[in-house]
Structure 1
Amino acid sequence: MTAPSEPTDASAPSPGSPNGPGTLAWRNAVFAVFFISGLGLASWVARIPAVRDSLRLDTALVGVLIFGLSAGSVLGLVVAVRLLARFGAPRAMTISVATSSIGLVVVGAGATLLESAPVVFAGLAAVGLGMGSLDVMMNVEGAAAERAIRKTLMPLMHACFSLGTVVGALLGAAASALSVSVFWHLTAIAVLVFLIAVVAVRSIPELENTAETSAPGEPASTWRSRLRASLSVWADPGVLLIGAIVLGMTFAEGSANDWIALASVDGHGFSNTAGAIVFGVFVAAMTVGRVIGGPVIDRFGRVPVLRACAVIGVLGLLLFILAPNDFALYAGTVLWGVGASLGFPVGMSAAADDTRNSAARVSAVAMIGYFAFLVGPPVLGLLGQNWGILNALYLIVALMALAGLAAPAARERHRR
């Protein structure tokens, strides 16, 4: 899953005409950053079963390890604005990618060379810190490039992230099949991700006021007014209902990222390689859902699409949990991925509909979404330890059903 940027009123200066080479290079650079973000995340996820085996951990302790990634990601969201303000987007992005790349190397070393769970936890915290801050930066740049080009590009940017997760999952499955150690696999990915970032950020322009801006309609916002605006939206029932949509869908997406490979191995008897392939199928379904989601929403509207996604996701999860054979498991994985694909981006769009206070609304909904990423892994780990990992997934079924019930809160303003 990717973090949203806070909408701003400032019109970012364009490095050229909407279709000029400078602007298109900027767009392509943002595409590349989204891609490597997904690649780095999926490379770790695909090797979770191998790390578990190497460290001889139970399910609950795997959840604790994954919590390190989630906690680092939340901290990254906090520091991203300061990094942007101090260093500018190109340098701040390079710092974030370098942090996550070092973290991947530490994870590999802790899993393979040192066989130390605390070292892996520390590495995952660094991975989360880098990726969390990069999440904010790439969405800020994506929104600015979209305004400069005057075309809707954010869905494709998020699809690039999903494409990166597909490639990462496939490379992880190949590394597992070829018995490549976690250390050498993650080290190679870390170097690749960093080199791509260094090349890509050269095409990202230095823009002013991309990091700290006031909410729409606020002329010169002070920290007190920003705090009041941020707190006031929590009393808005509409924001909380949109948050319920994002909570359910984000929990479904993040839980699959963290647990679907291990659930396939421990719950259905798959090999580690086959578990990585199942994860690849899930992220491929997510990618397809995001690529086709925009036109489908334009045709039918947010509410019917969100309800359909909730139904599809629930059916997919039940099929995955109860799968009597491999075909049913893969079919359930596809439905699970498609069902979870649009909840987060649609929730962000719905939160930004009210332009009077869109920044605070988007921030609040995003915080609810990241709460799912933060608490989901350890909660499922504890449930899985006591009742089995497949039975733990019924919690996701309930939350996706809740998201479907809350879908009317995301209705477009012109359709109300």
Structure 2
Amino acid sequence: MTSSNSAAQIARARWSLIVLFALLGLSYSSWLGRLPTVKEALNLTESQLGVVFLAGAIGSLCCVTIAGHLVVRVGGRTLLTISAVGISVAFILEGLGPTLGSVPLLALGIFLNGCFVALTNVPQNVETAAVERRVGRAILPHFHAAYSIGAVVGALIGAACAAADVPLVTQLSVTAVVTLVVRLVLIPNIVLDTHLSDEERWDRARTARQRRVERAEVRAGIVTPTQPRTLAVLLRSRRASLGQALGAWREPRTVLIGVIIFAAAMSEGSANNWLAIAVVTGFDRPEATGALMLSVFLVSMTVVRLAGTRVIDRYGRVAVLSVSGVTSMVGLIVFGVAPHFSVAVLGIVLWGAGAALAVPLGISAASDDPLKAAARVSVVSAFASSASLAAPPVLGFVAEVTGTRLALTLIVVFLAVGVAVSRNVAPIQRHSSEDTVVPDEKV
């Protein structure tokens, strides 16, 4: 994999990544803005919808744990291209399910979407960290701001389509086709740290061919005594590669960053999944208003992500993460107990502002060491997927008893834990005398 790139390549990668992040946000949010339609079309309760959401979390968790290994094995370009096609197929299924009245078809679409988004997020986040290192200052929140901008556009598209009674399958199918074309054009521009050279591709293809030939010879009984040992060496090498990718799970700092991202993903993901429904059911507002409030949340996130990079450079990751967590907690409580809709809007703004920087800070911290970035980003992304696995059913069942708004305040507990371990996102300091990484006391 190469590390030397021209300024033009870095700029091209940066802007291509910004567009790709925006497309992820647009696709996801345009679907989330239509959740009331999905809920009504399939006659689902909050708890039942939460169980359906589990399909996406399971798919994400299944794939995110091996995503770092796949990045090393096949390269970012191949993995991103396959995932782009998969996301579009999943998106169309998510539109067909409610249209045909099929919960299993919807669940399949959500499951596949979870799988392929997970396989996209790891190489894409590794590349954003690669660009940030080459630029030499904090810019990673800008990429996540692009996601938020795309999400705002997507939420507005969802609200407009809901107001105009556009069929869900039509909206999602058009979005899937357009976003796929743009992704396939831009993906070749972004591979810096996850690029496989032609020599590396040839070596790996030759190794794969050699394994196939030797396995065939073993089965045919025509191998010499030394050939089985050669095959064993190749297999041990492959297992060692996978073991190195999974070794990040034994690093305390990486795991604690994962805890932070777990809380942040639960906060942001629950807003995406439940905010529109909470507004519709909690304040007796139309579906378009629920989608609009999701846009308010996303706009708040976007503004802070765009402005937050200078704040991070000045005050450091730890301080910014701590303040962000407290702000989210205040916003959630205000939204959950607000007696009037106007007060709840204030809570939504605070919630979105607090949720803006936690995930980018965690990804940036996990990517401090470029040699281990893919494995560590894969680990912390698994925590995000675990949050997606735990939150929907828990909040769905609690919402059945307390209402969706009040159920969302449970997230405050997890955010408090994230704030408590926030010092682990401090930049690492590598000692020249030994290959160890420790948290830097300066932030």
TM normalised by structure 2 equals: 0.80
State the partner residue of 1:7: none
Letter in 1 for 2:348: T
Larger radius of gyration: 2
- Give the distance between the partners of 1:81 and 1:415, measured in 2 at CA: 29
Q: Measure the CA separation in 1 of the matches of 2:88 and 2:69.
A: 20
| Shift of residue 55, structure 1, vs aligned partner | 0.5
Question: In the TM superposition, what whole-angstrom CA distance separates every residue of 1:147-171 from its partner, at most 9, and x where no partner exists?
Answer: 5555654221121111111111111
Is the 8 Å Cα contact of residues 12 and 208 (structure 1) preserved in structure 2?
Answer: no
Mapping of residues 88-237 of structure 1, within 5 Å: 88-112=75-99, 114-147=100-133, 152-204=138-190, 207-208=195-196, 223-224=239-240, 227=243, 230-231=246-247, 234=250, 236=252
| Structure-2 change in CA distance of 1:195 and 1:296 (3 Å) | same
**Greater CA drift, 49-58 or 277-286:** 277-286
Q: Report Cα offsets for 1:74-130 as digits up to 9, x if no partner.
A: 334245456656765444323212211111111111112x11111111111122222
| More divergent stretch after superposition (354-363 vs 60-69) | 354-363
2:286 corresponds in structure 1 to 271
Instruction: State the partner residue of 2:19.
Output: 32
Deviations 1:266-295 (A, max 9, x none): 122121111111111111111122212221
CA separation in 1, counterparts of 2:333 and 2:412? 8
Residue 330 of structure 2 corresponds to 315
Is structure 2 residue 53 aligned with structure 1 residue 53? no
1:68 aligned to 55, 62, 69, which one? 55
Q: Is the 8 A contact 2:69 2:375 kept in 1?
A: no
Corresponding residue number in structure 2 for 1:282: 297
Which residue matches 1:12? Answer: 3
TM-score (norm 1): 0.85
Shift of 1:188: 1.4
1:315·1:336 contact (CA, 8 Å) conserved in 2? yes
> Which segment drifts farther, 73-82 or 55-64?
73-82
Q: What secondary structure is seen at the aligned counterpart in 1 of 2:410? A: helix
Q: 1:190: how far off?
A: 0.8
Counterpart secondary structure, 1:109: helix
| Cα displacement (A) at 1:316 | 0.6
In structure 2, the CA distance between the partners of 1:201 and 1:222, relative to structure 1 (3 Å rule), is closer
Larger deviation, residues 39-48 vs 363-372? 363-372
Cα distance, 1:382 vs. partner?
A: 1.7
Shift of 1:49: 0.9
**RMSD of aligned Cα (Å):** 3.0
2:269 to 254, 262, 272: 254
- Equivalent pair of 2:122/2:381 in contact (CA under 8 Å): no
Instruction: Please list the CA deviations of residues 45-87 of structure 1 after superposition, one character each: whole Å capped at 9, or x if unmatched.
Output: 1111110001000111101121112222233424545665676
Post-superposition Cα deviations, 1:322-345, rounded to whole Å, max 9, x if no partner, equal: 122222111111100111111122
Instruction: Give the Cα separation in 2 of the matches to 1:85 and 1:356.
Output: 11
Residues 12 and 147 in structure 1, CA contact (< 8 A), matched pair in contact too = no
Match of 1:216 in 2: none
Instruction: Provide closer, same or farther for how the CA distance between residues 100 and 399 of structure 1 changes in structure 2, counting only shifts above 3 A.
Output: same
In structure 2, runs of 5+ residues without a counterpart are: 202-235, 428-439
Shift in CA distance, 235/304, structure 1 to aligned 2, threshold 3 Å: closer
Task: Please say which of residues 340-349 and 143-152 is displaced more in the overlay.
Answer: 143-152
Query: Structure 2 CA distance, aligned partners of 1:287 and 1:223?
Result: 42
> 2 CA distance for matches of 1:298 and 1:130?
33
| Cα separation, 1, equivalents of 2:418 and 2:392 | 19
Q: Distance in 2 between matches of 1:201 and 1:244?
A: 30
Asked whether the 8 Å contact 1:60–1:384 carries over to 2, the reply is yes
Secondary structure (helix, strand or coil) at the match of 1:415 reads coil
C-alpha contact (below 8 Å) 1:62/1:381 kept by paired residues: yes
Residue 57 of structure 2: SS of its match in structure 1?
helix
